Structure 1
Amino acid sequence: MRVEIWSDIACPWCYIGKARFEKGLAAFAHRDRVEVVFRSFELDPHSDPARAVPVVEMLARKYGRTLDEARAMEEHVAATAHAEGLSYLLDGRDHGNTFDIHRLLHLAAARGRQDALLDLAFRTHFADERSVFDPEVLIGIAVGAGLDGAEARAVLADPTAYADEVRADEREAAELGANAVPFFVLDRKYGISGGQPAEVFTRALEQAWAGREVEEPEAGAEACEADGACAVH
């Protein structure tokens, strides 16, 4: 069975959803026969690649909220992350263009290190005071995930490297009707949207393995939409 997961490093519900999916997968009897592939989805593809902004300021501007209100939004996400055993910084994080990170994730996929790179990128972005939008930090993450530093640097220096692969993932997401992430596709037959509870993923895997139609998960899963908005659906 193949599970494809469309996500973006800037999406907190993708960070949480990955952890929940892995818990759900761990409870699945045939987990060793599941291939997991991560696909690219940019929440804010038109943002300036050369400029990152503080997350709280971005949220306040986007939603017309005060800084205190935007911080409260972040506190809600942080509490959810902590409940899953994940670290989550309320201060010191920024928001920016993720296209280069997606290109490196495709390099990592080609080298068999995609999951390791994604884990490190998520951890750095949400739990570390370093910025994943700093090219030197990004190269350090790549090396930490087992990639060759010179190769990672060469990919970042060439804006065409793996660009087609990123765009192809994004076209597929649109064709599948995915307008929010995380978005999970099981064997190209069943789709699940949002950071669902772990038991929902386990049940979906079991149903798909048995050849039954996957039940529609209950509403309420949190996700980030293509316009950058992160909310409850």
Structure 2
Amino acid sequence: MRVEIWSDIACPWCYIGKARFERGLAEFAGRDEVEVVHRSFELDPDRPKHETVPVVEILREKYGRTEDEARGMEEHVAATARADGLPYDTAHRDHGNSFDIHRVLHLAKDRGRQSALLDLVYRANFADERSVYDDEVLIAVAVEAGLDEAEVRAVVADRSAYADEVRADEREAAELGARGVPFFVFDRRYGISGAQPVETFAQALERAWAAREPQST
């Protein structure tokens, strides 16, 4: 059975949703027969490369909030993440164009290191004082995940590398009706939007698994 997860590393609910899904998967009896594939979705595709802004500023502009209200929104998400056992830093987070990060994640998929890299990118973006929108930070994180530095540098330098794969993921998300992330698709049978409770993911796994079984007569 395959579970596909559309996400963007800029999305805190994707960070939380991945952790909750994995807890649900750990409880699932057929977990060893589940293939998890992470797919690309850009929340801010039009932002120029290397143009980063503080997350609080993005929240203030996007939702028309005051700075204090925007900080409150970020603190609310942080509290949710921490309640799920995830570290979250609200003081230093920035926001930028994630296209290159998605391209490197596709390289990691080819090398069998996609989930490991995604975990490290999430940690750098949400818990550490490291901007993954910086090429050198992205390369360093990819190497930490087990990728070859020269190969990562080559992909980062060539913006056409894995670009088709990123765009294909995004087209598919649109075809499936995904308007935001995280978006989970279970064996192309059931879809779930958002960072749902662990129990919801566990139930979706069971439901999708049962749908694969031949029906008794």
In the superposition, the TM-score normalised over structure 2's length comes to: 0.96
RMSD over aligned Cα atoms? 0.8
Who is 1:124 aligned against? 124
Partners of 1:59 and 1:194 lie apart in 2 by 18
Who is 2:215 aligned against? none
Query: Residue type matched to 2:187 in 1?
Result: D
Who is 2:53 aligned against? 53
Partners of 1:206 and 1:190 lie apart in 2 by 11
Query: Residue type matched to 1:45 in 2?
Result: P
State the Cα deviation string for residues 19-51 of structure 1 (Å, max 9, x = none): 000000011011011000000000010011121
Query: Residue type matched to 2:43 in 1?
Result: L
Who is 1:170 aligned against? 170
Partners of 1:145 and 1:168 lie apart in 2 by 24
Who is 1:179 aligned against? 179
Partners of 1:60 and 1:200 lie apart in 2 by 31
Partners of 2:195 and 2:76 lie apart in 1 by 14
Who is 1:66 aligned against? 66
State the Cα deviation string for residues 64-114 of structure 1 (Å, max 9, x = none): 211111000001100100010000001111000000000000000000000
Partners of 1:61 and 1:152 lie apart in 2 by 34
1:1-233 equivalent positions in 2, closer than 5 A: 1-211=1-211
Query: Residue type matched to 1:146 in 2?
Result: G
Partners of 1:77 and 1:96 lie apart in 2 by 19
Query: Residue type matched to 2:194 in 1?
Result: G
Partners of 1:139 and 1:110 lie apart in 2 by 16
Partners of 2:57 and 2:199 lie apart in 1 by 35
Gaps of 5+ in 1: 213-233
Partners of 2:185 and 2:62 lie apart in 1 by 30
Partners of 1:28 and 1:50 lie apart in 2 by 41
Partner SS state of residue 180, structure 1: coil
Query: Residue type matched to 2:144 in 1?
Result: G
Contact 2:50 2:134 in 1 (8 A): no
Partners of 1:5 and 1:61 lie apart in 2 by 28
State the Cα deviation string for residues 164-223 of structure 1 (Å, max 9, x = none): 0000000000000001110000111111111000010101111111118xxxxxxxxxxx
Partners of 1:37 and 1:130 lie apart in 2 by 26
Query: Residue type matched to 1:30 in 2?
Result: G
**Stretches (4+) displaced over 4 A:** none
The sequence identity of aligned pairs, in percent, is 75
Partner SS state of residue 211, structure 2: coil
Partner SS state of residue 105, structure 1: helix
In the superposition, the TM-score normalised over structure 1's length comes to: 0.90
Query: Residue type matched to 1:95 in 2?
Result: H
